[in-house]
């Protein structure tokens, strides 16, 4: 299935926030992680188990295959970033996060998954595999 180009509709929201970006562009935002992989992001809501704030919202980062980017190969999730008495309020609070803040959450999750080991970008790995990198 070929991609579909839809023109941005900036009357639908602030494209600099994660919620506004999805509204303006009609698709989820996507980022390159510090591990060199591509991630798209969605706002997800779920029950918190708390009586006063029964709804929470968090970010789900879908990791895409390195080659072809046609199928997911994993995912990362944030903790609840907002809790509220309604599902819509929790989603709205997280939707107001800037794209930079969301990127920061992604990078923190990648670092946690890697066990705080340094991560390498894809081009550094390729350079090392082809022998054009620095040998130390």
Query: pLDDT 10s digit of each residue in the chain, 136 long?
Result: 456 677 888 999 999 999 999 999 999 999 999 998 999 999 999 999 999 999 999 999 999 987 765 788 889 999 999 999 999 999 999 999 999 999 999 999 999 988 755 555 556 666 666 655 554 4
* Global pTM exceeds 0.75: yes
Distance (Å, rounded) from C-alpha 66 to C-alpha 45?
A: 28
Domain chopping of the chain, boundaries: 29-114
84 contacts: CB under 8 Å, gap ≥ 6: 53, 55, 56, 57, 90, 93
Residue 15: burial class (beta carbons within 10 Å; 0-12, 13-18, 19+): middle
Distance (Å, rounded) from C-alpha 72 to C-alpha 65?
A: 6
Distance (Å, rounded) from C-alpha 69 to C-alpha 4?
A: 16
């Amino acid at each position: 299935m070929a991609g579909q180009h839809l023109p941005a509709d900036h009357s639908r929201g602030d494209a600099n926030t994660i919620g506004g970006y999805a509204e303006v562009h009609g698709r989820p935002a996507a980022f390159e992680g510090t591990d060199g992989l591509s991630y798209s992001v969605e706002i997800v809501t779920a029950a918190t188990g708390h009586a006063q704030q029964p709804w929470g919202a968090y970010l789900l980062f879908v990791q895409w295959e390195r080659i072809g980017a046609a199928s997911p190969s994993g995912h990362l999730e944030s903790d609840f970033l907002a809790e509220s008495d309604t599902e819509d309020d929790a989603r709205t609070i997280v939707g107001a996060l800037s794209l930079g803040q969301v990127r920061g959450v992604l990078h923190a999750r990648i670092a946690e998954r890697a066990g705080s080991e340094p991560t390498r970008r894809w081009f550094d790995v390729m350079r090392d595999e082809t022998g054009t990198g620095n040998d130390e």
